[in-house]
Amino acid sequence: MNSESGQRLPMEELKQRNAPQTCPNREEWDNLLMMISALYRVTAEQGKALENLERHTALLRETCPGRAQLEALAEDTAQIRAMLRQAGKRKERYVSPPSLSTALSVLVWLALILLGTMVGMVVLQALWSGLAALWSAVKMLIP
């Protein structure tokens, strides 16, 4: 008989190779079952750890901003800084003399206020004199 390399093997080795496999005894079965159960527990723990890790990474993806969001935030902060710089500067105030139309409109308003005051005073005088006449009439009726 030839082996894979083409050499002849001794008869004893051939008998060992072709000998029927023996079944494991009770102690070997118990050891195999313990190893299988230990492997099962380890894979179950690793599966739970993997699920927790996937849940955590999904939560991080939802809460942490992406690259586009970070760029948008950077642009917004640059705009806010520019507005703050500009807001911090003092604005120059210009005082110019009033124009002719402004002066005329002020004069018109003053004239209207004066006219309204005069009309109001005339009305009040008329009311006062009317009440005085009424009081004198009532005074004559009551002895």
pLDDT in tens, the chain (143 residues): 444 556 777 888 877 777 777 777 889 889 999 999 999 999 999 999 999 999 988 887 777 767 778 888 889 998 888 888 877 666 666 667 777 788 788 889 899 999 999 999 999 999 999 999 999 999 988 87
C-alpha 64, offset from chain centre: 11
What pLDDT was estimated at residue 97?
A: 72
**Dihedral of the alpha carbons of 17, 20, 23, 28, in degrees to the nearest 10:** -10
Q: What is the pTM of this model?
A: 0.33
Which residue type does 33 have?
L
Strand partners, 2: 8
Distance separating alpha carbons of residues 32 and 28, to the nearest angstrom: 6
Structure tokens belonging to residue 48: 């739970």
pLDDT score for 22: 75
Looking at residue 122, what is its pLDDT?
Answer: 95
CA dist., res. 3 & res. 9, Å (int): 7
**CA–CA distance, 128 with 120 (Å, rounded to integer):** 12
Beta bridge partners, 109, equal none
